[in-house]
Structure 1
């Protein structure tokens, strides 16, 4: 029997219930890859229906729920993957040019450019408090927050290694405040069609936002402020 015409490329035949740990991880990975493809095909969509995810993944809806308790849990898992990929890219960019100490300008530029290069990361982060954290269990939330904290701490350590004159604690503060900056700047930099038409009018230039540039400027101002503040 041939697979449906609209089935995902290279998707396996209809999944049976996984038995081994390896099979379960394979199913979970396949679901996340399918969800990622769906979101990339619809750049303006922020929600993800379990019915459509199951159909595209060629799994039953009940089988999807064996791996993720809700669509928000799927998106949260994708966000964890995005943060992991971003951190690897940021680390690589920070080490370019040898081991010489970086500057706050270099760090702000590396941070903002690597974040801006991952629009899915920005989209999911922008709905983190309003949507993603609204329909997940305590267990999933604890796991997610632990992952988020680990990324923050490791990023702060990486920044401190490149700029020892600023403490790890100061850099943790920078990364902490970067999250709400992304949450606010992403939708402001990607307004609705009507809002975009309005702020494109002469005289409203100050209401326009450029995500990467404004994030870099905000981070730079924050780091300069922290660098000039005496440690207690």
Structure 2
């Protein structure tokens, strides 16, 4: 795709349009590339039909783009989680309902899971302290809102206690996603019947792990 000659955005509205265009382009590219490491500024600029220097006006690195996409994905997921928690089921208001809603809504957003799985090792590099502070505050806000949603679903457990649960659940998510989605050769190897015990099923194993955390923290 040829790079067009973009006129420099002048107004705040034009700047936000360019920023939005870059993020939407990045999301489309992430659906195509097998590895988030493959998304670079050069490829993003080419597909967005912008010059590399124009991209740098909005994001200082590809990691900064991915962090912004990650926060947006978390916000979308949180809306979906809240809807799942509010659905009428016979288990509503139980830790089983929370674990099921938590794991099912995450499994439904593979891009979110992919980005979460690499953010401690990759995405938290090559970004400014200012952007990192904004990213961390965004995550903290979503965590607090999610903990409150869990508390509203199960009032016998405080929002503060649910915040601690989410804090412990995040490493489980980070580790399970790559284990459940191994590289091609590794996937072929664990497909052997004699190695079945080494396979991971993301949604099933995440739900089981979350239940273990919940029961360990809140069961009498």
Q: Is 1:143 aligned to residue 107 of structure 2?
A: no
Are 1:109 and 2:124 matched, yes or no?
no
Where do 5+ consecutive residues of structure 2 fail to align? none
Kindly indicate whether residue 36 of structure 2 is the aligned counterpart of residue 46 of structure 1: yes
Per the alignment, residue 115 of structure 2 pairs with 124
CA offsets per residue over residues 58-100 of structure 1, 9 Å max, x none? 11100100000000000000000000000000011111129x9
Shift of 1:228: 2.5
Distance in 2 of aligned mates of 1:63 and 1:127? 26
Kindly report structure 1 stretches of 4+ aligned residues shifted beyond 2 Å.
none
SS in 2 for 1:34: helix
Q: Does the CA contact (< 8 Å) of 2:85 and 2:92 recur in 1? A: no
> Alignment RMSD, CA only?
1.7
**Aligned counterparts of 2:108 and 2:97: Cα–Cα separation in 1:** 16
Give the alignment's TM-score, normalised by structure 1. 0.90
Instruction: Give the TM-score of the pair, scaled to structure 2.
Output: 0.94
User: Match of 2:47?
Assistant: 56
**CA contact 2:23–2:69 (8 Å) conserved in 1:** yes
Counterpart in the other structure of 1:227: 218
How big is the shift at 1:14? 4.0
Q: Does 2:85 match 1:94?
A: yes
CA distance in 2, matches of 1:81, 1:95: 22
Q: Say how many residue pairs are matched.
A: 218
More helix by share: 2
